[in-house]
Structure formats: structure tokens, C-alpha cells
Amino acid sequence: MNDIRIEAIQTYLVDLPTIRPHKLSMATMACQTMVIVRMRHSDGIEGLGEGTTIGGLAYGPESPESIKRNIDTYLAPLLVGQPSGNVNALRARLARHARGNCIAKSALETALLDAQGKRLGLSVAELLGGARQAHLPVLWTLASGDTRKDIDEAFQRLDERRHCDFKLKIGANPVDQDVRHVAAIKEALGERAGVRVDVNQAWDEATAVRGIQALQDAGIELIEQAIPAREHAGLIRLANRFNVPMLADEAVQDARDGLDLVAGGFSGAFALKIAKSGGLFGALELVHVAQAAGIGLYGGTLLEGTIGTAASLHAWATLPEMAWGTEMFGPLLLKDDIVEKPLDYHDFGVELPREPGLGIRIDEDKFRHYSRPN
């Protein structure tokens, strides 16, 4: 196995249109740009990875273009020529020589695990110890910004048995307007579906107190990242002030963030994302902190396509049932795909791919069609 080495790493920018404008507090998306990694090994196996973010630089410090450039210029040279099989050693090599760049590192780690799984005839979930669940629940985000459209969309997803819980993206509008929008949707859905909100860091703490109280009164079941990520003390105060749980997302990127929040008295839930934790292993390290502290878990997304979504699913499948489910709906937000076989969404969830590695194969014609020229 040590004789098998990484021969080449190629990255591609792939632009896929969304089924409708996706409105968040920091950006409105009509297209998702993914960075696809194709990692070739000396035994002829190719590993696939994906690095995706939201709205260019609107969400965080890595953009699709910087992810590609930093992999090509700095990270790939650290891996090419190295033995393929020791993923932990390769992760340590990247960490030692490159700061940050969590999304880029996640894409490379995913490609390493995909190749190793294909080589051994094991799924990525099996490489991580084995799947404890093969069908994971998936909620849907209502983000058109139009109350009537969001209500109609929710009922359509319920009738199709596609989703039975919904998240609303708010924070771009005045708080009273957002609360009216959310309350109207919750009233329309009643007990048929759970409703939660993601503020994407848009409020200050005083605004959050007013907004959360109104949302709690409206029957909203979870409040995601109401205030900026670095305001840990404020997030802890909000978690302790209200009955409705707070979901830490941007505030908890890795196990150290999780430990800091727990030590400060946070009593809510953590959103897991392989991209913000630098890969599957980093996300699972955060899980261990959460489980030790009795913190609920939620499988989050950066609106990845099928490759990145499958990678997350393999990690989440190794866990006990997560208290808040997952939002691994990224591929459903896209008008088309670059894989031969899409993920199987049904009965309010998605099936874990069973084939070796990620269980995903590229559709070469569509890949060429949607890829930018390198």
C-alpha cells in the first residue's frame, strides 16, 4: 500500500444554476459554484472531492476561486508524490504547512477517502467505522423570500413526502417583517411540519432578544446563529434566556470552538459541516465534544452538490440519530447535476450511497458542459 502514491491533483470550477433564487441574509444565489477535485493515484484510482461555499466571499474567507488557486498552488504540491493510504499523515502534513483553508482541505480529504474506499472495496462510512443508519432525514430550506410561495413550496414538499421539516432564511429584512413572514408560514403548516429559522449572523444581541421572543411565541422550534460568530458570550446568554434552543453554526467550526462554548455554559445544538471543520475527521472530532456535553447535533451543509453532500452523509451515517436531523438537500437546489446517478431522496430523507468510496461517479459530458475552462 505504501508503494501507491498520489500522482496528480486537478481542480475545476463548476457552475450549476439553482431551481430558484435562494435568498440568504448575506447573498441571493441563482447559481452555485463548486470546486471539484479529481485526485489520480499510481494504482489508477481516482478520488473525488468537492469544496463549496455560499455567495462567493459573502459567507466566509474562502471563495471558489481562492479554493481552487490555493489547492493548485500550495496544497496539492504537499500531497503529490506522497503515499496515498495514510490519510491521517496527509492531513497532518496539510495542517503543518498551511493555515486555515478549511474548505480546500475538506475537498482534498474527501478525495483521499474516496480513493481509499474504492481501493479497499469499502464505503467511506465503513472506513469511518461503519454506518449506524442508511436513511437520513433531510429538511428543506424555504428561501424565496415570498410568504405565499414559501407556503406553497412547503405543502408541495410535504405532499411529495420529500421533506417534513423546514428552515427559513431570515435576517435580510427588518426583524418585524421577518417575524411576520415566519409566523405566517408556521401558522399555515400547523402541526404538520416543524419550522426553524437561520438568521445567518444578521442581528445584534438586542435585536436578537426581540426577534427570538417573537419567534418563540410563534412556535418556532430552533434558532440558528442569530448573532455574529465570534460573539460566543452573547450566544450563550441567548441560549440561557429562551426556551427555544439556539443552534450554533458559524460560531462552532471545530472541536476547540465546541469546547469553548460548552465551557461557557452553552446549552443548545451544534451544526456540523465538514467544510468548516476541514473535513470529515474534523467534524467528527467536534461531534465527540458535543456528545460528551449532551449538546444536540444537526448535519449542516454549505449547499454542496452531490459529491460534497455524499461525503457529509457518510460521516453523519456513522452517528446515532441526530437530534435535529440534517439539511443535506444541496443537490435538490440545483437544476442539473454532474454525476451519473443522483442521490436517492424519498420518505422525508435520503439514502446513503452503498458503493465503495463515496459511491459517486462523474457524468463526463455534463462535467465538461458545466466546468469553466481551466
Q: Which residues are known to be catalytic?
A: 169, 327
CA distance 18 to 158: 21
Residues 6+ apart with CB under 8 A from 207: 175
Q: Which residues pair with 36 in a beta bridge?
A: 12, 50
CA distance 226 to 204: 8
CA distance 297 to 283: 11
Do 50 and 37 meet the contact criterion of CB atoms below 8 Å apart? yes
CA distance 231 to 221: 22
Residues 6+ apart with CB under 8 A from 308: 34, 49, 50, 51, 52, 107, 110, 274, 275, 301, 302, 330
